Amino acid sequence: MTTPSPSPSPTIAELIAQERRLILPRFSYDDAFALGSLLVELARERHAPVAIDIRRGAQQLFHAALPGSSADNDAWIDRKRKVVERYGESSYLVGTRFRAKGTTFEESSRLDPDTYAAHGGSFPIAVEGAGVIGTVTVSGLPQAEDHAMVVEALEQFTATPEL
């Protein structure tokens, strides 16, 4: 089974709405493990060849690499995560903003493309009253699907009664 196809190009408004909706009341080490485990479960159900990374600040709290993923996915994770850390928004939203202006992140950001990638799959972990405190990133699928998998996992995670 493969990941359901998300809308090919979510709008900037849709991407902003996701970020506003997916703010957490807290984010602990246990929460990182639970969210990461949920992402692994979703990826395994779909036989998705992804790598998953969750960080709070500079500390990596969770990492998993599923069959079919490679070290290239880890490099993509780092580049997408750095976009979220710099802009405070999902890597997909940042790239979409540039495309909406008729350009690309690579052409117009003035940032090194070997260090930054505004491709879907990295999402800010925002906590009520604290702002963006970390990132959750998936790499291995087309960018819209990487992004959609993270959003789906965060939606399921925030729907859990114990959160």
Q: What is the DSSP string of 8-27?
A: SS--HHHHHHHHHH-EES--
Residue 3 has pLDDT above 50, yes or no: no
DSSP state of 138: E
Q: What is the pLDDT of residue 117?
A: 98
User: What are 100-141's pLDDT values in tens digits?
Assistant: 999 999 999 999 999 999 999 999 999 999 999 999 999 999
Average pLDDT taken over every residue of the chain = 94
73 contacts: CB under 8 Å, gap ≥ 6: 50, 51, 65, 139, 140
Half-sphere exposure of 70 (CA within 13 A, CB side): 2
Q: Which domains does the chain have, with CATH numbers?
A: 12-158 (3.30.450.150)
Rounded Cα–Cα distance for residues 146 and 148 (Å): 6
pTM of structure: 0.93
As a whole-number percent, the residues of the chain with pLDDT over 70 amount to 94
Is 7's pLDDT higher than 70? no
Q: Is 4 helix (H, G, I), strand (E, B) or coil?
A: coil
User: In the prediction, which pLDDT does 160 show?
Assistant: 82
* CA–CA separation, 14 and 92 (whole Å): 11
Instruction: Determine the residue type at 153.
Output: A
Q: What is the pLDDT of residue 159?
A: 92
Q: Residue 9: which pLDDT band, with cuts at 50, 70 and 90?
A: confident
Average pLDDT over residues 76-97: 98
pLDDT at 6: 46
d(CA 15, CA 29): 26
> Which pair of structure tokens corresponds to residue 20?
């506003």
Q: Residue 163 has what pLDDT? A: 64
Q: What's the token pair of residue 110? A: 């003035």
